[in-house]
Amino acid sequence: MDSLSIQLDHGSGGRATHELVNEVFAEAFNNRFLLEMNDSALVEVEGGRVAMTTDSYVVDPIIFPGGNIGSLAVHGTINDLCMRGARPMYLTAGFILEEGLPLETLREIVESMAAAAREANVLIIAGDTKVVPRGKADKIFINTAGIGMVPDGINIGGHNARPGDAVLINGTIGDHGMAVLCKREGLAFENEIVSDSGSLNGLVQAMLNSCRQIGVLRDPTRGGVATTLNEIAQQSDVGIQLDEESLPVREDVAGACEILGLDPLYVANEGKVLVCLPQHAAQEVLEVMRSHPLGRAACKIGEVVAGEPGRVFMKTRIGGLRLVDMLRGEQLPRIC
Amino acid sequence: MDSLSIQLDHGSGGRATHELVNEVFAEAFNNRFLLEMNDSALVEVEGGRVAMTTDSYVVDPIIFPGGNIGSLAVHGTINDLCMRGARPMYLTAGFILEEGLPLETLREIVESMAAAAREANVLIIAGDTKVVPRGKADKIFINTAGIGMVPDGINIGGHNARPGDAVLINGTIGDHGMAVLCKREGLAFENEIVSDSGSLNGLVQAMLNSCRQIGVLRDPTRGGVATTLNEIAQQSDVGIQLDEESLPVREDVAGACEILGLDPLYVANEGKVLVCLPQHAAQEVLEVMRSHPLGRAACKIGEVVAGEPGRVFMKTRIGGLRLVDMLRGEQLPRIC
């Protein structure tokens, strides 16, 4: 291509669009479904339950410690499929580009998407590119939608938490949100805070292979662990009691949160999963989680209770009990 | 909801997001898959070929004669599925909203999406909403992705045009692009030019019911009929010869194009389909098309030829033959 940055005619549907698609997207996402270059891609599926999801990504900055908007867009949508017990298979990618975006930046982002998809064994089979004039978007927005098949016997959803269940998480909380925020605000700490952005399908698969009684899986992204647990409490009409002492927070994340007046319970994660499952199965699943690279710091953080349905409480370090509400207001804009 | 316009906290994932989702999206798109409010929606499919596609919509203005960005986003993705012979079934919708967008405008757009989906008998089963600060996007961008099943025996794609095929279209060209452009530029003609934005699944279904030999279906959106025919010529490695005399253009569209120095062959359509099929089946399929509300003005506009593979020519009114190239440059930005 002639230009070193995105021009309006890259979105025209004409020759420049074709060059961009061939030289950037098709080369990176290289697979036979996409390369057919038809209005939609055709794939074979077996009959059964298909999970389908979508997310748009508008994170600022577009490149942050531990990832960029492209890898995030692949991880996030894969994870939303995993949270129903689905095996993620196919993604679509829709790009909205601001005129003037350096082509080099686009290539870096697209290559990260391709690498994230390869790593998770999913294919990006259809795409779309629009270009808007300078000042009408902020560099790049990406939408990914995805489908995956849910094996028979799996029944996972936010309404399946039962009193007595244990609540588990696969590691430390707040890493993604603080990584993005520190980068955006130019805050430097002794160690750089790195996003946890990653695909959870391998971890979730291992967990489901060992235990079919998992009722709820949910990734605590925007709104953080607090908001996600409130959603589960409401959908299942149960109470949830957290144990502050057991909440895993990296020291640097905790420190940054304290300086900025944020509560890590409300900060976004992009490689974490909350799990509700019968107490008697918790130890075995925790061991499976800890033997996976994305679950080394897995732990139990609370319990599902019958009282106070729809509400989340936390037993504090000093022995009190405080209400943990859903996020109110916008704690951190453009975090994903 | 308290506010009369979109605020940053509507994209936080917390309480305000939940209110927006419940009061605007869930109410309009109302179906049991979406209402489960899980990370992804689960649907049952039969085994076979699934078509999957995505498109982002950034049209300016967001409301135009004949539709708005919402109805367009539903029509466009349904049509991309139809172009493989698929029966569109499920859509996802991803919204990027600019802070300050009037809630009333959002409601109007979302209701148009719901109406378009109902009319085409598809369900919007999953969604996502992001909000960016004022000036970081232009009012509203929408991504829709979709899936549909392709019945056995259907084999449609851009590589299936054969020398001797007839090339058909279901009506007048350039309506959508000129409707948007005239609205954007404040150009008034005696009659308002109205977009052809519409779902082609009913029309395409009727055509496929009558004839299984249709090789190519493609909707001439961005880049117009000229660009789309060039794509088909290249994918099928054939030549295509258009007949200028037979190209259906509304008088007001032709007039507006002339004033603005545009060629209707390059102007976007959003309710048109180009068809390549064996000559002997053309008459019957034309009759089926003409008996459908979206095909009243269907006609044959050209032929597939063996010579000059990869190129499109047009027999002009005065009897000459001119090359019809793919669109170069950006004729009309943000038309869809």
Per-residue model confidence (pLDDT) at position A188 = 84
User: By three-state DSSP, how is residue B314 classified?
Assistant: strand
Confidence of residue B330 (pLDDT cuts 50, 70, 90): low
Mean pLDDT, range A122-144, rounded to an integer: 98
The domain in which residue B197 lies consists of: 166-323
CB atoms B84 and A46 under 8 Å: no
B137 and B233 both lie in a single domain: no
The reply to whether B85 and B224 lie within a common domain is no
Residue A276 has pLDDT above 80, yes or no: yes
**Residue A191 confidence class, pLDDT cut points 50, 70, 90:** confident
- The reply to whether B317 and B180 lie within a common domain is yes
DSSP A63-126: EETTEEHHHHHHHHHHHHHHTTT-EEEEEEEEEEEETT-BHHHHHHHHHHHHHHHHHHT-EEEE
B333 or B146: which leads in pLDDT = B146
Residues present in chain B in total: 336
Confidence category of residue A65, pLDDT binned at 50, 70, 90:
very high
Which residues from B are below 8 Å from A53, CB to CB?
Answer: 39-41, 92, 126
**Does the pLDDT at position B217 exceed 90?**
yes
| B56, B329, B330 ranked by CB distance to A96: nearest | B56
Element spanning A240, H or E: strand A239-243
Q: What is the pLDDT of residue B50?
A: 97
Same domain, A92 and A229: no
Nearest C-alpha in B relative to A126: B53
**Domain membership flag for residue B96:** yes
Across the A:B interface, residue pairs with CB atoms under 8 Å apart total 295
Contact A328 B9 (CB under 8 A): yes
Q: What percent of chain A has pLDDT over 90?
A: 95
Q: pLDDT at residue A1 above 60?
A: no
What's the number of domains chain B is made of? 2
Contact B141 A137 (CB under 8 A): yes
Q: In the predicted model, is pLDDT for residue A32 greater than 80? A: yes
**Shortest distance, CA A315 to any CA of chain B (angstroms):** 22
Based on the fold, state whether residues B179 and B318 are members of the same structural domain.
yes
Q: Is residue A253 part of a domain?
A: yes
Dmax (CA) of chain B? 67
Identify residue A258 by its one-letter amino acid code. Answer: E
Both A185 and A286 in one domain: the answer is: yes
pLDDT for B331: 66
User: Do the Cβ atoms of B143 and A145 come within 8 Å?
Assistant: yes
Domain C-terminal end among B150, B177, B206: B150
Taking CB atoms and an 8 Å limit, are A58 and B130 in contact across chains? yes
CATH number at residue A145: 3.30.1330.10
Tokens of B216: 């190519």
Comparing CB atoms, the residue among A92, A138, A326 nearest residue B132 is A138
Residue B25: predicted pLDDT: 97
Q: Which 8-state DSSP code applies to residue B151?
A: P
Q: Where residue A190 falls among pLDDT bands split at 50, 70, 90?
A: confident
Judge if A63 and A210 occupy the same domain: no
Q: What is the pLDDT of residues B67-78, one digit of tens each?
A: 999 999 999 999
Output the pLDDT for position A333: 84
Separation of alpha carbons A98 and A78, rounded Å: 26
Q: Residue A123 and residue A110: Cα distance in Å, rounded?
A: 13
At residue A328 the predicted structure's pLDDT band, cuts being 50, 70 and 90, is confident
Number of Cβ atoms within 10 Å of the Cβ of B271:
24
Supply the pLDDT for residue B1.
54
Q: Residue A332's closest chain B neighbor by CA?
A: B12
Residue A232 has pLDDT above 90, yes or no: yes
User: Who among A7, A12, A150 is closest to B223 (CB)?
Assistant: A12
Residue bearing tokens 């001439």: B220
Residue A75 lies in a domain: yes
Q: What is the predicted pLDDT for the residue at A216?
A: 98
pTM value is 0.97
Cβ distance A58 to B90 less than 8 Å, yes or no, reads: no
Residue B33 lies in a domain: no
Q: Which two tokens stand for residue B168?
A: 């058909």
Confidence of residue A215 (pLDDT cuts 50, 70, 90): very high
CA B199 from centroid of its chain's CA atoms: 8
Nearest to B12 among A86, A92, A327 (CB): A327
- C-alpha closest to that of B240 among B165, B160, B318: B165
> What does the alpha-carbon distance between residue B165 and residue A305 come to, in Å, rounded to a whole number?
68
Which residue on chain B is closest to A49 by alpha carbon?
A: B44
**Same structural domain, B122 and B181:** no
Q: Looking at the domain assignment, is residue A71 inside a domain? A: yes
In this predicted structure, the answer to whether residue B184 has a pLDDT above a threshold of 90 is yes
Asked if residue A251 is part of any domain, the answer here is: yes
- Indicate if A123 and A246 belong to the same structural domain: no
pLDDT mean across residues, chain B: 96
Query: What is the arithmetic mean of pLDDT over A18-40?
Result: 95
Indicate which of A18, A90, A99, A143 best probes the interface with B, i.e. most B CBs within 10 Å of its own CB: A143
pLDDT at B191 over 90: no
Q: Which residues of B touch A219 (CB under 8 A)?
A: 39
Same domain, A319 and A171: yes
Provide, as residue numbers in chain A, all residues whose Cβ is less than 8 Å from the Cβ of B218: 39
With respect to residue A157, please indicate whether it lies within any of the assigned structural domains: no
The residue out of B98, B119, B150 marking a domain boundary is B150
**Confidence band (pLDDT; 50, 70, 90) for B329?**
confident
B11–A37 C-beta distance less than 8 A: no
Under the banding of pLDDT at 50, 70 and 90, the label for residue A331 is: low
| Chain segment B232-252, per-residue pLDDT in tens | 999 999 999 999 999 999 999
Residue B333, pLDDT score = 84
List all residues 6 or more positions away from B261 whose beta carbon is below 8 Å from its beta carbon: none
pLDDT of residue B242: 98
Q: Does residue A314 surpass a pLDDT of 60?
A: yes
Mutation target vs B (from A1, A3, A12, A152; most B CBs, 10 A cutoff): A12
Contact at CB, B16 and A328, closer than 8 angstroms: yes
pLDDT band at A5 (very low <50, low <70, confident <90, very high): very high
Residue pair A199/A76 in contact by the 8 Å Cβ criterion: no
* pLDDT bucket at B176, cuts 50 / 70 / 90: very high
B90-141 pLDDT per residue, tens: 999 999 999 999 999 999 999 999 999 999 999 999 999 999 999 999 999 9
Q: What is the DSSP string of B33-99?
A: HHHT--SSEEEEE-SEEEEEEEEEE--SSSEETTEEHHHHHHHHHHHHHHTTT-EEEEEEEEEEEET
Phi, psi (deg, nearest 5) at residue B313: -120, 160
pLDDT of residue B189: 82
Pick from B13, B53, B126: CB nearest A92: B53
Mutate to test the interface with B, among A40, A46, A90 (most CBs of B within 10 A): A40
The answer, yes or no, to whether residue A108 has pLDDT greater than 60, is yes
Confidence tier at A329 by pLDDT (50, 70, 90): confident
Same domain, A122 and A185: no
CATH (domain of B290): 3.90.650.10
Question: Would the CB atoms of A12 and B331 count as touching at under 8 Å?
Answer: yes
- Kindly state whether residues A146 and A227 are assigned to the same domain: no
The residue out of B124, B150, B176 marking a domain boundary is B150
A35 → chain B, closest CA residue = B235
Report the residue of chain A nearest B40, measured CA to CA: A53
Question: Residue A137 pLDDT > 70, yes or no?
Answer: yes
Quote the ipTM score. 0.97
Of B14, B80, B92, nearest to A52 by CB-CB distance is: B92
Residue B246 inside a domain? The answer is: yes
Return the pLDDT at B279: 98
Which two tokens mark B180? Answer: 């948007």
Is the confidence at residue A2, as pLDDT, over 90?
Answer: no
